[in-house]
Amino acid sequence: MTEALFLSSDDVSDLAEPDDYVEAVREGYRQIGEGAPAEPRTKLVNDSPPGMFTTYAAVLPDTGAMGGYMYSAGFRERDAWFMTPLFDADTGEPLALLDGASMNPFKTGAAGAVAVDALARVDASNVAVIGSGAQARGQLRATAAVRDLDTVWVYSPTKEHREEFAGEMNGYLDASVAAVASSDAAIEEADIVITATNATEPVFDGDHLEAGTHVTAMGQYDPGKREVDATTIRRAKYVPDLRARATKDAGAFLHAMEEGVVDEDHIHAELGEVVAGEAPGRESDDEITLFDSGGTGIETAAAAYMLYERAKEEGRGQPIDFSPASEALTGR
């Protein structure tokens, strides 16, 4: 029998700030860039009621942990539940089971921030955010941990939502955050563009991107999801979280290939390869860079282990027992 820890969303919600997530996730991507294993998501789709059941995982040997997400989204309740199993990367024993709800926007935001740090201009200070939900909040707060922001423009179709977002983020950030009436207005003077939507059609015109802009597109987790257009893909140095994902479920990249605008050779490198120094990041102030984030076990395992360690130090969580396979009942 092995004792592990169950950590509720409330147990871990106040254990870390955005910069803590960024540090943990950057280290996770470095390990993947140096050869540690991670796989894209496996997604099972249900038609009635509509929903998806998803898993993905990564092994982080230097961290000493492995894990990922298993979650459902949609179905009859039209919601999502995130379960995060965490294992010891040396012994293979279970360490913890986390409710991943509260960490979800922060660990995903941290992946975007790691990309911003690796790919955006060092002096980037103006941000456009397209989307106003929890993921947009996580992306922006994490980005503020790696760049000194001056101005943020946010656009989402519902006026009340974008204004609420601006008011809330003004309370968190030193930057000035303002709602604008269109995506064109948001990206007009932006050094960093963040898309955090469920869009099935591009949310801005790639011809309108200024030279030197970095784009983080984080709603690209399905062939039918397409936040950026083929022009943006063509113009950008394209960096996905995992190379295998780009040709499996990265909607915008798949669409650009179907249009004949790019092929697989357009994939510059995985983010981990850039973080590990195996591939260059930004090479000039004028190039456009794009991080395609669809969600991986890398940021999930890295963030979960960081929270697990802190929870142990504070005596949080409930012990739970797991039996190894060697103790399985065999009818004896």
* Residue 44's CATH number: 3.30.1780.10
Q: How confident is the model at residue 332 (pLDDT cuts 50, 70, 90)?
A: low
Residues 316 and 244 in one domain: no
List, for residues 92-146, the tens digit of each pLDDT value: 999 999 999 999 999 999 999 999 999 999 999 999 999 999 999 999 999 999 9
Residues 135 and 11 in one domain: no
Q: How confident is the model at residue 327 (pLDDT cuts 50, 70, 90)?
A: confident
152: β partners: 127, 177
One-letter amino acid of 257? M
Average pLDDT, integer, range 216-220: 88
Q: Residue 113: inside a domain, yes or no? A: no
Residues 307 and 288 in one domain: no
Q: Return the closest-CA partner of residue 150 out of 126, 181, 168.
A: 126
Residues 171 and 75 in one domain: no
Measured CA distances, 69 to 24, 82, 84, 199, 225 (Å):
17, 7, 5, 23, 20
Residues above pLDDT 90, as percent of the chain: 94
Residue 212 contacts residue 121 (beta carbons within 8 Å): yes
Rounded to 5°, the CA angle 84-89-91 comes to 115
Q: How confident is the model at residue 159 (pLDDT cuts 50, 70, 90)?
A: very high
Residues 82 and 126 in one domain: no
Tell me, what's the pLDDT at 331?
A: 55
Count Cβ atoms below 10 Å from residue 77 Cβ, excluding itself. 11
Q: Residue 332: inside a domain, yes or no? A: no
List, for residues 266-301, the tens digit of each pLDDT value: 999 999 999 999 999 999 999 999 999 999 999 999
Range of the domain at 285: 119-292
List, for residues 257-267, the tens digit of each pLDDT value: 999 999 999 99
Q: Residue 76: inside a domain, yes or no? A: yes
Q: How far apart are CA 82 and CA 17, in angstroms?
A: 20
Q: Return the closest-CA partner of residue 232 out of 277, 276, 273, 199.
A: 199
State the total domains in the chain: 2
Q: What rounded mean pLDDT belongs to the chain?
A: 96
Q: Residue 112: inside a domain, yes or no? A: no
